[in-house]
Amino acid sequence: MLSGLIFTNCNTPNQNENKKEEVQVAQRVQPVFVTDSLAHDSDDPAVWINPQDPSKSLILGTDKDKDGAIYVFDLEGKTIDSLVVRDIQRPNNVDIGYGLQLGDRTVDFAVTGERLTSKLRFFSLPDMKEIVPGGLEVYEGETGPEFRDLMGVAIYTQPETGKHYVIAGRKNGPQDGSYLWQYEIISDASGISLNLVRKFGQFSGQKEIEAIAVDNELGYIYYSDEGIGVRKYYADPAKGNEELTLFGTEGFTKDHEGISIYKLDENTGYILVSDQEANQFHVFPREGTAENPNQHELITIIKTSTLSSDGSELVSLPLNKTFPKGLFVAMSDDRTFQIYRWEDMAGEELKSIK
């Protein structure tokens, strides 16, 4: 017990504090694997699920630098050099979409934001071939580089229509409810283009908005207004731009960062939000409460070995013998991504898929 370390011996105060810290560190969840190191600065991961063989799924991670890249790893964190895409100018976030129709073929795809050019870069999966060489520009018509500094990206696929959308966030933006821009991805045999369908999203003006996550099944977008909380909106543009809730406003050390979702079934599960400076993740109910689906009260806090994590991803599917209940991967500020078993993250308090 911590109290025993402090009061049942004759150690000096400094010795007692050191022992207390050792116990606290020991309580942190440890990863099963840590990826190979990146060249510059790890930032955000995403996971592509291989539909034929989930054990051959891929972990993608951005290397945030002017000489940046998207790294591709296997489920043990080993770099697959043949799939790494280099010469991307400061990629921040990356996300995955499935079932994009390109002429007579259907592809899965990854998208990342290239900050120094204000372009979205699209790559087919699993071969990581670029769909539109050089990318597609966003925030056209905005004046000033601070409003075009592309950071967060997330994919929403509308279940009923199969339409694909990309939501783009940036380093700075207006506080009038138009911080995020949502584009429909228009595809044909020659490639893809973007159609701006709405501008939405409140912003406190204090820091920035980078972390964006989409719950496709329930139809919600979540994003971190850093230092303030997590904002929630409908993902379907037809449902309007009303802010549904702002949660997680208390208990964070400083910045709200990466958001990831564990789905127990179509309607229930957990939302994990990185408390960056504390190296821990706050857990909220995905479904809200029985009375209010937009009431997300804190369930627990999971301490991990990640360092200053600002990007994470969850998979709530069995992948292999190591990850029978899913996988959690989080950026760590030592040029790596840490890969966890969901059971280790869940402990005794949280549930796992059956």
- DSSP letters, 92-130, are EEEEEEEEEEETTEEEEEEEEEETTTTEEEEEEETT--B
Task: Find out whether 284 and 296 touch, Cβ atoms under 8 Å.
Answer: yes
**Strands ordered across the beta sheet of 300-303:** 256-263, 269-275, 280-285, 300-303
The predicted-structure confidence for 180-203, as pLDDT tens digits, reads as follows 999 999 998 888 999 999 999 999
Task: Find out whether 158 and 100 touch, Cβ atoms under 8 Å.
Answer: no
**Fold that domain 34-346 belongs to in CATH:** Neuraminidase (2.120.10)
Task: Find out whether 80 and 56 touch, Cβ atoms under 8 Å.
Answer: no
User: What is the mean pLDDT of the segment spanning 161-173?
Assistant: 93
User: What is the mean pLDDT of the segment spanning 102-120?
Assistant: 94
What is the pLDDT at residue 5?
27
Using left for φ > 0, alpha for ψ between -120 and 50, and beta otherwise, residue 121 falls in beta
What is the pLDDT at residue 27?
85
Other C-beta atoms lying within 10 Å of the C-beta of residue 19: 16
User: 14 pLDDT exceeds 90?
Assistant: no
The predicted-structure confidence for 114-130, as pLDDT tens digits, reads as follows 999 999 999 999 999 99
Annotate 166-185 with b (16+ C-beta within 10 A) or e (fewer).
bbbbbbbbeeeeebbbbbbb
Question: To 5 degrees, how large is the angle CA 129–CA 120–CA 330?
Answer: 80
User: What is the mean pLDDT of the segment spanning 330-350?
Assistant: 96
Per-domain residue ranges for the chain?
34-346
| Rg value, the chain, Cα | 20
The predicted-structure confidence for 314-323, as pLDDT tens digits, reads as follows 999 999 999 9
The predicted-structure confidence for 19-50, as pLDDT tens digits, reads as follows 444 434 448 999 999 999 999 999 999 999 99
User: 274 pLDDT exceeds 80?
Assistant: yes
User: 145 pLDDT exceeds 80?
Assistant: no
Question: To 5 degrees, how large is the angle CA 341–CA 342–CA 348?
Answer: 115
Mean pLDDT, the chain, integer:
91
CA distances from 176 to 35, 87, 182, 205, 337 (A): 40, 35, 16, 10, 35
CA distance 58 to 96: 11
What is the pLDDT at residue 144?
66
Task: Find out whether 164 and 156 touch, Cβ atoms under 8 Å.
Answer: yes
How many angstroms from the chain centroid is the CA of residue 247?
17
C-alpha neighbours within 13 Å on the C-beta side of residue 69: 17
User: What is the mean pLDDT of the segment spanning 59-70?
Assistant: 97
CA distance 138 to 181: 8
DSSP character string of 292-324? -TT-----EEEEBS-SS---EEEE-S--SSS-T
Position with higher pLDDT, 263 vs 310: 263
The predicted-structure confidence for 191-244, as pLDDT tens digits, reads as follows 899 999 999 999 999 998 999 999 999 999 999 999 999 999 999 999 999 999
Q: Structure pTM?
A: 0.91
Task: Find out whether 309 and 330 touch, Cβ atoms under 8 Å.
Answer: yes
User: 255 pLDDT exceeds 80?
Assistant: yes
Position with higher pLDDT, 1 vs 11: 11
